Structure 1
């Protein structure tokens, strides 16, 4: 690894170029940099805690420090990076608490959105949602699944025509992208998620607002709890391994005595 990058893998892996060098005129320089870094984080090329050195990034893109700082601020606002005074930026760690909270907020916003959207769905919008639902179900590539999953969810809410609500939901989808990919390590839960998508779509077709809202909320809260448990147990296992011991099994609580 090039010492100048201080751990940032920009110059050390020419065989697998994962960051675009060319900046297209249609997007701002800072946005191109942010998109490239986000992709590297999502795909695991930049691991949690890895340093994001402004000078190394600027050299890679042949730009000044200004668009790099803007890109890092954008990533920080989206939850992808942590910026500390006098310490610089690093890739944000995966957090069990953050994962659960993202899905708790999504459950509230998306159950609202689907209720507003159902009366405005048409045969055409329902066909589009059906197509996107089946595409997500069949997708085996984690990177493509994340995009297809988001497209399906947003197709359910689009007829509501609530731009600010849609923007907030889209931001949360982006913040939860790294966590959603963990489901591919738990295939049985992806299958369950696909079945829940079908049930939600069926409720939308029937025009059953109460059922659709309940199903969306349960679907998202369940995903949040799953990810919370997975990340918590993984952190405990890693801590135990670092200490050279096996993680202790949880002790069963004693049954309450009758008074």
Structure 2
């Protein structure tokens, strides 16, 4: 599994750049999208349009423009919309099209709580199966986090930490669960969400120390707290961007 792209709660590495032309006001997708299937590209691209405020609640999804912007047919765009409907991003109305749905604050927080439970389970297993090499490598990743504020490097170090913990946990079922979970933030979490680096440094330190001490309960609890904090930051950002549905 590519943790930064399929199972990482921090989000997906994609950039969106402004462009004019056939797609009108829609931006061009970043190069990171080329590693995905056409349907995955379209789904991530639409999530980013919502995140950037280019598409808002109630807007009709411009399927033809999106297909042109991505250089694909409408088939992968329709596949993406079916996926996004399951995730709650859009509502498909027969014979009318797809429309941006109402994002829910509770759903965003639940997303990160669930990630905390899943990665907490991985931390328990990794703690039970830890080796001196694992604890040494996790300590090195913590040191790396302390020494950088660069969002790309912070994302890389956190993905590497998760990868090591998942590999040590050695649970195929756990990996299949993570593949089914899609990031809420459509891009580098540490570049798009204000203020997470200090919380992540403290959280990773607590997780790694608990694993080194052989305390699975403490490791799982530290993961859960760190990811709840990330959920708080994302919920605050979405509120500030006006992405949540307004009370009736």
TM-score (norm 1): 0.64
The Cα of 1:152 is off from its aligned counterpart by 2.6
Count of aligned pairs: 222
- CA distance in structure 2 between the aligned counterparts of 1:208 and 1:104, rounded to whole angstroms: 21
Tell which deviates more after alignment, 194-203 or 221-230: 221-230
Relative contact order, higher structure (CA 8 A, sep 6+): 2
CA contact under 8 A between 2:141 and 2:157: conserved in structure 1? Answer: yes
1:15-164 alignment runs, 5 A limit = 17-18=28-29, 28-38=37-47, 40-41=49-50, 44=52, 46-49=54-57, 51-79=60-88, 81-86=89-94, 87-91=96-100, 93-136=102-145, 138-141=148-151, 145-146=154-155, 148-164=157-173
1:237-252 correspondence runs (5 A) = none
SS in 1 for 2:98: strand
After superposition, give the CA deviation of every residue in 1:211-259 in whole Å (9 maximum; x if it has no partner).
2122222222344345546656876xx97xxxxxxxxxxxxxxxxxxxx
Bigger radius of gyration, 1 or 2?
1
Counterpart residue number, 2:200? 193
How large is the Cα RMSD of the aligned pairs?
Answer: 4.0
Distance 1:156 1:13, change over 3 A: same
* Unaligned ranges ≥5, structure 2: 1-19
Does the residue aligned with 1:52 lie in a helix, a strand or coil?
coil
Aligned residue number for residue 228 of structure 2: 221
Q: Secondary structure at the match of 2:28?
A: coil
Contact 1:58 1:68 in 2 (8 A): yes
Aligned to 1:212: 219
SS in 2 for 1:175: coil
SS of equivalent to 1:174: coil
